Amino acid sequence: MTAAATGYRPGSTLPIWAEVRRQASRRRTQLALGFMALLPVIVLVAFEFGGDGDDDNGGGEFSSLVELATSGGLNFTLFCLFVSASFLLVVVVALFFGDTVASEASWGSLRYLLAVPVPRARLLGVKLVVALGYSLLALLTLAGTAMLLGTLRYGWAPLGSTIAAEIPAGEGTLRLLAILGYLAVVLLAVGGLAFLLSVLTDAALGAVGGAVLLWIVSSILDQITALGVIRDFLPTHFSTAWLGLLSTPPQTDDIVKGAISAIAYATLFWSLAFWRFTRKDVTS
Amino acid sequence: MTRRRVIAGAVVVALVAGLVTVAVLPESRPFTATDERLTVASGPSGTEPVELDTRFYLPKERSGKVPAVLLAHGFGGSKESVRTDAEDLAGLGYAVLTWTARGFGRSGGEIHLNSPDYEVRDAQRLLDWLAARPEVRTDAAGDPRVGVVGGSYGGALALLLAGQDQRVDAIVPMITWNDLARSLVPESTGAEPTDGVFKKGWAGVFFGSGTGGRGGLGALAGGQTGGQTGGEDEEGEADGGAGDTTDSLPTGGPPPGVSTGDPSCGRFARDVCAAYLAMATTGRPSAESVALLRRSSPQSVLPRIKAPTLLVQGALDTLFPLAEADANARGIAATGTPVRVAWFTGGHDGGSGPQTDQDRVKFLLAQWLGHHVKGEGEAPAGSFTWSRVAGFNALDRGLVTNAYSVGAYPGMDGSGRTDVTVAGPAQPIANPPAGNPAALSSLPGLGGGLSDLLSGVAGDLAGQHARFVSEPLAEAVEVGGSPTVQIRAASPTGEATLFVKLYDVDTAGGVTLSGGLVAPVRLTGLPADIAQAQPVTVTLPGIVRRIEAGNRLAVVVATSDQGFTTPAEPTVYTVAVGPAGAGPVGAAPVGLPTLTGDPIATPAAIWRYVLIGLIAAILLGLAAVLIVLRVRNRRRVDAVDPATAETPLVVTGLRKAYGDGFVAVERVDFRVERGQVVGLLGPNGAGKTTTLRVLMGLTMPTAGEVRVFGYQLVPGSPVLSRLGALVEGPGFLPHLTGEQNLRAYWAATGRPWADARFDEALEIAGLGDSIHRRTNNYSHGMRQRLAIAQAMLGLPELLVLDEPTDGLDPPQIAEMRRVLKRYATDGRAVLVSSHLLAEVEQTCTHAVVVNKGRIVASGPVDDIVGDSPSVQLDVSDQAVATEVLQRLGVRSVTAEGTGGLVVDMNGTPRTEVVAELVRAGVGVDRVVPRRRLEDAFLALVGDNSRGSGDR
């Protein structure tokens, strides 16, 4: 006599693949991923038709990255990452993490999953893994498309950097992968925040918007240098540290600090999410 | 809820209060600072009084007497500009004496440029003063234990003082000169300053800050804190900070007690002023001027310095380049005095440098003073440390440098040498009249640093420079020291003033003049024809730079530079590189001293271990949580109650109170046995849905327990898999079709597809082709049927349905009743909640009536419902009918509305009652048998038309 119905094992409920399909069929997933592939196209078209604007207003490393963007596939990819890292990727990651539980709650399907029963920790775990997967996929889609388009259009050239010598294409690819990896780690903090909000609220929009909002607030606070050492504790403080990977030799000190910050925040938020979700009354 | 708000509020208040407290509380300073105006007897005779503005820092925590540090400021600064450093040193346990040098700030006297008779003697009197302080440790009577620290002007003072007064125990001169004449009138082929090229840019900045009175002083001292990093590691950085030179025009009044005197000389002593004016006018110093400058140079006193010396020099310094420290180091070390040299990425152009460099210099300083003055710590190693620019800091846009270390100081020739050949034809270049327009290589006094270093401030001017370029370098070269190159020049006047620069040309063609450093040369006795010109060796200023593989070197020979005085006459020179007679295209090796060492790990390396530790801790924590949960789960699953193992559902003493204090369920007990269809009946808000939520594991009961097949039910209990449910309406993924939704749901159970009994469920749903439409287009009834089908997927042994007929039309309701009755066969059971009496009556075998969170009736429907003794009649004549009925011997008759009667029959058959009424001529419109359940229900809720279950 076993407790469960035949064929039921808690560990095999809500298989990862089932959750992947649940999310894949959603329009917002398709749109988000589609836009990741579309953005490099838009940027490319802009470069092609934009002409030679010489509004060089001395925007520091930004203007230099713009100037270098058309020098080769690697630099084009770098530019696409640079322009999306501060906001677009944040929104996309917040979407994947913030929407996942809250939308099930708003549809009412969450209670049926819990009645299957999918153990609550497993439900969150699977949702988390799949959101991670989709976020990574979005990042890779962006980089992959940009790399492909940029290389086709501008050729396979060394990675130009504004502050150090050009990096040979082979090593440049590795640097780009490292930048992607660091971006992924930094975005974990957004993911953690969005995920926590997703568990706390039934409104998917609230979770996604809330996470993005708090991220922006953190960015604003980070601009206020008078805050001094407090800024080091802002989740966005090290979000641009990946620029250090463009120098020779790569500067990794801030990257390490940024990784510590992001991992700590993500762990904290995710722990809170699990703690809350495994205890709360699901009333939606 | 309220409590939670209070807690949240308290946390916020505590945080704000904490921040405010931290912000408001004064810093606790571990030292005291005393300002005092000391009058010391100085001058050549040793009797001329001069008033010095001093500040004495004394550590608060001290055991016995403490060693002292004499901290001197830079040119144009004051005791204020070294305040941070003084406080740091006081924090390290030194008594620190700072003072404003004579001729500056509030001190009296005139500027004699560190003259041995004036400034140096002033400092000797300060040593006397220190020795007399009871708090200061002494080596002998009148001999304090003291180190002298200073940057630039203060650094030279430290050297000169140590050469003149043997009481000094250690010195740390930073970014300072060896020979002031050579620094201001350099010549890079080795000629004397009298034949040098006047560095008018820097000289002007200096003279301006000395004549500018307090306005200039304030601006330049302010430039220190407003500089690149705001750090004040290099004492007396004021003269190299990023001050705005326009502000250094005299704006304030004269310092108190100082007469304005000659407006062209300001506070400079007459001889110094005269020397400057002559030099600046002609661009050529006289022998007397050179002698005066050399009187102010440590060069002459080096052999007499016995105090261990730590020399810190900056690589971004067009005023006092690395070679100055090199000369000092060699001169002092020649007599066996311990000397240590360090280079950092900063200086009069580069400011304090990046944080890593500041930290390194601070450490070296503390270590040096600690051993040689305080007598603590091991003897510092003799190793030479330097740093090289690695790029921008990604966050604050500052420079990032990597530091390196090598066992011994190699000097300006480096630890190795690489020759790179530059080549090019002889080129004619024009000297612009009056030196205008002129090439720009650095911005003296502006502390350009970054832009200087990275791409040069500006380029060379067309027609005014010759360029000799190398092939791309096969491999990267780590240059550290003074490069050399041989050039030749021809001039119709026999003389030429040229500027030799070494550019790093990257693969994209971008050029960088490292540090903005140029080598001025003045050549005389030149032939008019380049073919006869003899090569001269030019020693370029020392640089620290990595030249990447693939880059080229370019030697540029220019005729003008804004930083220097050049001949006013327009001339055309011809320049070439390499030995004479080598054909039209000359080639010459550029000797690059190389410097390799071991990278110094930055303190930031510790963060890597922190990161590794953090990840390890997270993984361990995760593993621990998983293990604990697994153990706890196993224990819970095993707890089966054998008495109820065959009973689908036993609810005992269930109570649920929500966080806001609302009690949704007071106490509910009931059972559902196999084969039963149990109706949970109650008005809206009676607690039905809350009970079902607990049954689904969505909410935790406050008290009581629910057992399903003997297993206690808590959220996530595996036994929930034997339960199918529809609670609070359907929940579907709107973007999927009905069929996809069912499949997605079953996929989530992880059970085999064959167990789903999919076709049976579809049949129950009865949606036809609509099953292939997206559910967001479904009507309410369609969703309801799909939800029931979903609950029945896999034919669970216990089916829990909340208001299943909600939204169904009558035929579907009838069909649903049949389905549910049929479902409960084969030992399965169904629990249906409803607020509709008729539905429960017609569908269920058993009923549980709840109201206000409590059970009011339960049992088989037949028992409860049965025929009750009462009947409701609608008659044409109420009065007659009442009379007839009473005659028949019924128990009671109650009038209800117009024509309505409720009759307790007391066993009289209904047929007889109707027959009697008709016989009596009363028309019977309607006869409705009343049932017990209805009676009970109405007794509970019927009188209250307001939300019956609302509490």
Residue spans of alpha helices (H) in B256-342: 270-282, 287-295, 322-333
Q: What is the pLDDT of residue B205?
A: 85
For chain A, the distance separating the N- and C-terminal CA atoms, rounded to the nearest angstrom, is 34
Closest-CA residue of chain A to B713: A3
- Taking the C-alpha atoms of residue B699 and residue B715, their distance in angstroms, rounded to an integer, is 7
Q: What is the mean pLDDT of residues B334-343?
A: 92
Closest-CA distance, A95 to chain B, in angstroms, reads 17
Question: In this structure, are strands B31-42 and B48-59 parallel, antiparallel, or unpaired?
Answer: antiparallel
Angle between helices B287-295 and B270-282 (to 10 degrees): 130
Among the partner residues B400, B722, B749, nearest to A247 by beta-carbon distance: B400
Residues B326-338 pLDDT 10s: 999 999 999 889 9
Angle between helices B200-211 and B270-282 (to 10 degrees): 150
- Report the complex ipTM: 0.90
Most A CBs within 10 Å: which of B388, B611, B699, as the mutation test of the A interface? Answer: B611
Half-sphere exposure of A48 (CA within 13 A, CB side): 10
Structural domain count, chain A: 1
Q: Is residue A233 included in any domain, yes or no? A: yes
Instruction: Say how far apart CA B540 and CA B60 lie, in whole Å.
Output: 49
Which tokens hold the place of B174?
């930073």
The pLDDT tens digits for B728-785 are 889 999 999 999 999 999 999 989 988 888 888 888 778 888 889 999 888 888 899 8
**Closest residue in chain B to residue A247, using alpha carbons only:** B391
Q: What is the DSSP string of B235-272?
A: TTGGGGS---GGGGS--S-PPTT-----TTTTTB-HHH
User: Hey, of B712, B721, B776, which one would you mutate to test binding to chain A, going by the most A CBs within 10 A of its CB?
Assistant: B721
Query: Out of B394, B618, B722, whose CB is closest to A241?
Result: B394
Residue A159 Cα, gap to closest chain B Cα (Å)? 12
Of A7, A22, A166, the CB nearest to B752: A7
The predicted structure's pLDDT at residue B233: 37
pTM for the complete prediction? Answer: 0.74
Residue numbers in B near A243 (CB within 8 A) = 392, 394
Among A28-37, B299-308, B848-857, where is mean pLDDT lowest? B848-857
CB B94, CB B170: distance < 8 Å:
no
Q: Six-digit token pair at B323?
A: 């070679």
CA distance B599 to B585: 41
DSSP H or E stretch at residue B784: helix B780-792
Helices (DSSP H) in B25-144: which residue ranges?
83-91, 119-132
pLDDT higher than threshold 50 for residue B257 = no
Q: How far apart are CA A214 and CA B834, in angstroms?
A: 45
Give the pLDDT confidence score for residue B451 in this predicted structure. 43
User: Per the omega criterion (within 30 degrees of 0), is the bond before B425 cis?
Assistant: no
Contact assignment for B725 to A22 by CB distance below 8 Å: no
Regions of chain A where pLDDT drops below 50: 1, 55-59, 61
Residue B218 has what pLDDT? 31
Helix axes A73-85, A27-49, angle to 10 degrees: 120
Token pair, residue B778, equals 């479904």
- Structural domain contains residue A6: no
In a domain, A155, yes or no: yes
What pLDDT score was predicted for residue B128? 92
Within a domain: A3: no
SS3 for B683-699 is: CCCCCHHHHHHHHCCCC
Amino acid identity of A120? R
Whether residue B714 has pLDDT greater than 70: yes
pLDDT 10s digits, B142-164: 899 999 999 899 999 999 999 99
B745 touches chain A (CB under 8 A): yes
**Which of B393-402, B471-480, B497-506 is least confident?**
B393-402
Residue A135 lies in a domain: yes
- Which whole number is the average pLDDT over B621-627? 92
In sequence order, the 6+-apart residues with CB closer than 8 A to the CB of A132 are A191
What integer pLDDT is reported at residue A164 of this predicted model? 63
Give residue A232's domain range: 15-48+58-277
Chain B positions touching A254 (Cβ under 8 A) are 393-395
Residue A284 lies in a domain: no
Is position A64 within any domain?
yes
**What confidence score (pLDDT) does residue B261 get?**
61
Test B698 with A251 for CB contact under 8 angstroms: no
| Average pLDDT value for residue range B308-312 | 94
User: From CA B391, how far away is CA B401, in angstroms rounded?
Assistant: 7
> Does the residue A29 lie in any domain?
yes
Please report the pLDDT score of residue B397 as a whole number.
63
Are the Cβ atoms of A117 and B697 closer than 8 angstroms?
Answer: yes
Cα–Cα distances in Å, from A210 out to A32, A92, A216, B9, B11?
18, 13, 10, 20, 21
Cβ–Cβ below 8 Å for A3 and B550: no
Stronger pLDDT, B930 or B369, i.e. the higher one: B369
Nearest CA to B201 out of B530, B503, B566 is that of B566
Is residue B711 less than 8 Å (CB to CB) from chain A? yes
Among B330, B342, B359, which Cα is nearest to B544's?
A: B342
